[in-house]
Structure 1
Amino acid sequence: MMKRLTTDSTETSFSRRSLLALSGGLAATALAAPRLITPAEARAPKLGTQAPYYYRFGLGDAEVNVVSDGPLPLGDPGGSFLGVPKEEVAQMLANNFLDTKNVVLEQNIPIVNMGDRLIMFDTGMGTSQLFGPTTGRLGGSLTEAGIKPEDIDAIVCSHAHIDHIGGIVGADGKPLFPNAEVWLSEDDFNFWTDEGKLGSSAKAFVEHARKNLLPVRERIKFFKDGQEFLPGVTAIAAPGHTVGHTIFIVSSGGKSFCFMGDLTHHPVLLLERPLMEFAYDTDPKQSAQTRVKLLGMLADERIPVMSYHFPWPGFGNLARAGEGFRFYAEPMKMIR
């Protein structure tokens, strides 16, 4: 008959004593062992640098380059994510191992090489440091990716907020992409360049929009909802965040993804609770309804997505989860 294993106090004590003895023996062995190279004596010095801030992959017959304008810290989540108790917001962040005191967004900018044209979606903060010094990195990211500003044929803007149109012109007011036409919603252009709003709480946003859009006014073109305004790029109206906020279906060779712009800013807060309101929305309630509708469409049709503000590089898929949604990041696909 097999002896039954027991866990009485004698065996438990013996087990603990054995473990302590083993630990002591290992420590003594380590002390007696030949001296190894310590980190301070490592042959390779610490580099103190990061990898280049771009990611490249194929999409059908096209090639997608994702570059970054740098992290954008929003600060206290209670000041931006509204309609839900602050304690609940903090718990949602903590449950996902995220900072409960400072929400940091990314700025993921896809540049799609269609073969006959190079199309960039949004442009980052530019010279504005409204959200701190970590933004404004687009120029450096382009250099790292080997993309010249003069090679950009089209800039497609999801909307006219500072962090999306801020990199169209430089500090001197001159266009940074000399050969690019600029596509934007006409409603957004009219709203954010309205001189009459300079006396409102939106002053900083209006000033920045006027600075970046008016110098290229003759190159701005307007798309319509549902229009394939460039080959392989179709606009879908997503109002609420701004009056003319738009998302885009990008297609090539039978493959597609949706560039969501600011349909949702956060992969946890505004997905798990899509009816939560966001302080930077022009119409928070309309934005929440738009978010639920379009996220549902993207999830149900299993369309891959890219979010401007999700963790780098922002690509993945959406699925319904309870009353909200869940984001599944796509594994990196390296081009060899």
Structure 2
Amino acid sequence: MTISRRALLGAGAAAATLPLIRAEAAAPFVGRGAPAWYRFRFGDYEATVVSDGSLPLGKPDDAFTGSRPGEIGALLRAHFLDPNAATLEQNALVLNTGRHLILFDTGMGDSMGEASRMFGPTTGRLLRNLRAAGIDPAQIDIVALTHAHCDHCWALVDAQGNRNFPNAQVAVSEADLRFWTDDANKRGPAFMVPFIDGAKKNLAAYRDRMIMVQDGREVVPGVTAISAPGHTVGHMIYAIASGPQVMINTGDLAHHQVLLLRHPLWEFAYDTDPKLSAQTRSRLLERFATDRPTILSYHFPWPGIGNLAKEGEGYAWMPTPMDVTSLG
């Protein structure tokens, strides 16, 4: 059915002839939303997605490269998205296996002062949302990092350098640990200096409790690391298995649910090796569209749970309907 502008205006004119009912808004605007967490069962496990807030990237053409002029804007408009501003979510997963309580990535935090707000004031909400979800940060026994970028590890410590997860070990690839704590890598884009300073501060606090994750090896029973290099040198994703069910925490394999799924070989400005990242993304997206595991994406629309389907030369994101009884 097509609804024309003329029909809409006609409906408005008809409504104007109805008796007027005086109504006043007696209640003030609340001005805040609910705590952002979402809990669901996954096989024998309990999973909770906790938001660190939204992460605005600014002009999409500056962050996503490799397109023809006007192509990004047209694609975003076709999906009812702002063509002038790309906004990502930050969906951190907490997995309770019954033996371990694992947090995957920490969000931005406030450990680096003004640098922690380099993407604006809407990040850094993970700790308060953890507590709202009934999870004490002291209960976390493993923080599994997909990589050591600011929006994934800067909440390991607070502004004073104290551990936010005092009883946790930190699982990270050795390649990322070495790269992001090496001052010799402070070259290239301007963001490299704060990224390295922040990683050094946050990772150093856990230097006596590190787990070096390796491709194809379990971090704990049921959670296996998979190498997905390019976005960073040691970027990892994690396969979570409970019985026949498999969920892949894809970290930063793809940052945008439209741009980098429809065009996996486009590049992203914050990739350490953009061409390798694009090849890794293309290869793994094809695998996931074929094998059809549940996907938990860190940067896709809240809460980042869904599936991938092949569509044309790219892929489509199919969000999983949320169980409203699980909303926080």
> Does TM-score exceed 0.5, indicating one fold?
yes
Alignment of 1:66-105 (within 5 A): 66-105=49-88
Separation in 2, partners of 1:23, 1:190: 64
Q: CA–CA distance in 2 between the matches of 1:225 and 1:319?
A: 25
Alignment of 1:1-336 (within 5 A): 27-28=16-17, 30=18, 33=19, 36-38=21-23, 41-127=24-110, 128-198=116-186, 201=189, 202-335=192-325
Distance in 2 (alpha carbons) for counterparts of 1:306 and 1:268: 16
Give the whole-Å Cα distance in 2 for the aligned partners of 1:46 and 1:114.
40
User: Aligned in 2, Cα 1:322/1:147: closer, same or farther, shift over 3 Å?
Assistant: same
- CA-CA distance at 1:335 after TM superposition: 4.8
**C-alpha contact (below 8 Å) 1:66/1:108 kept by paired residues:** yes
**What CA distance in whole angstroms lies between the structure 2 residues aligned with 1:328 and 1:268?**
11
- Residues 233-258 of structure 1: CA distance to partner in whole angstroms, max 9, x if unpaired? 00110001010001111122432210
Deviation at residue 47 of structure 1 after TM alignment: 2.4
Shift of 1:130: 1.3
The 3-state SS of whatever aligns with 1:66 is: strand
After TM superposition, the runs of 4+ consecutive aligned structure 1 residues lying more than 4 A away are: 22-26
Question: Gapped runs of 5+ residues in structure 2?
Answer: 1-5, 111-115
Tell me if the contact between 1:57 and 1:334 (Cα under 8 Å) persists in the aligned partners. Answer: no
- Deviation for aligned residue 1:204: 1.2
Contact 1:108 1:309 in 2 (8 A): yes
Q: Given residue 290 of structure 2, which amino acid in structure 1 is its aligned partner?
A: D
**8 Å Cα contact 1:229-1:235 kept in structure 2:** yes
TM normalised by structure 1 equals: 0.89
Superimposed CA distance per residue, residues 29-80 of structure 1 (whole angstroms, 9 cap, x where no aligned partner): x2xx3x5341xx2455432221220000000111111001100000001111
Q: 2 CA distance for matches of 1:321 and 1:73? A: 27
The match for 2:3 is: none
Tell me how many residue pairs correspond in the alignment: 312
Shift of 1:24: 6.9
What is the distance in 2 between the residues matched to 1:24 and 1:294? 54
Aligned amino acid, residue 67 of structure 1: V
Aligned residues of 1:299 and 1:319 also touching (Cα < 8 A): yes
Q: Give the TM-score, by structure 2 length.
A: 0.91
Secondary structure in 1 matching 2:205:
helix
Q: In the alignment, residue 169 of structure 1 is paired with which amino acid? A: V
TM-aligned CA distance change 1:255 to 1:42, over 3 Å:
same
| Contact map agreement 1:198 1:207 (CA 8 A) in 2 | no
Is the contact between residue 243 and residue 282 of structure 1 (CA under 8 Å) also seen in structure 2?
A: yes
| Partner Cα distance (2:14, 2:214) in 1 | 75
How far apart are the structure 1 equivalents of 2:257 and 2:146? 18
Q: Which amino acid aligns with 2:55?
A: L
Counterpart of 2:33 in 1: which secondary structure? coil
User: CA–CA distance in 2 between the matches of 1:123 and 1:26?
Assistant: 51
| Cα distance change on mapping 1:60 and 1:335 into 2, 3 Å | farther
Gaps of 5+ in 1: 1-15
Mark the CA change 1:111 to 1:26 in structure 2 (over 3 Å): closer, same or farther: closer
CA RMSD of aligned residues (A): 1.9
